[in-house]
Each structure stands twice: as C-alpha cells, then as structure tokens.
Amino acid sequence: MKGVTDAWTLLIIVGLAGVSVLTRCFFFILDRPWGFPPWAHRALHYAPVAALAAVVIPEIVMTQGHFISTWQDGRLYATAAGAAYYFWRHGVLGTIVVGMAVYLPLHLGLGW
C-alpha cells in the first residue's frame, strides 16, 4: 500500500509542476502579443484594494470567528483614527502610525 501512496504523491507533484510551468510560461509560448480586454484591465485596478479589504476587515470586526459584541475593542477606535488621518493627509505611513498609537494604549493599558 505504501508504494501506491508514493506513486500518487509523485504523480501529484509532477502534475502541479506541469501546471506551474505552463501557467508561468504561457505568455512566452504564444506567438503573438496578448492583452486583456478593457473591462478586465479596469477590474485589475481594484484587485489589490479588494484583496486587502478581504484580509483586513475580518481582522477588525471579528474575534475567533465571531463578530465583536462590544464597543470596548481598541481595533474599532484605531480603525476610525487611522481612517480619519488618511482622509485628512492621504499618507499611508501616518495612517499606520496613528492607528497603532491609538490601538496600543487601549489594548495594552485597558485590555481592550
């Protein structure tokens, strides 16, 4: 039975390597230039923001898979302060600094 498992493992590794090589070399294999349609190109401008929101927003509003049920959570106030700074000055580094300056005292000092 162990030989069968090893054969399946080898087959999966070879298959994944093939898919990886094919997808990475796809643009080199084609004989003519290839581009996205205009609607897809526009959609790609929003992809980084959507991915960031999909990662960050659940971390702000959830704890251990459940929505937070109290206003005594430092993440909410840090998010509000960071967003206010960003809309005021449009600086990413300042947004992070202001958010952490609000979050750390609330989290470490008050246990929020």
Q: Is the pTM of this model over 0.75?
A: no
Neighbours of 97 (CB within 10 A): 13
Domain positions in the chain are 70-112
Residue 108 in contact with residue 74, Cβ under 8 Å? no
Residue 68 in contact with residue 84, Cβ under 8 Å? no
At 58 the pLDDT is 93
From first CA to last CA, the distance across the chain in angstroms is: 53
Residue 76 in contact with residue 59, Cβ under 8 Å? no
For residue 66, the 8-state DSSP code is E
Residue whose pair of structure tokens reads 């996205």 in the numeric block? 36
Place 4 in a pLDDT band, splitting at 50, 70 and 90: low
pLDDT in tens, 48-105: 889 989 999 999 999 888 999 889 999 999 999 999 999 999 999 999 999 999 999 9
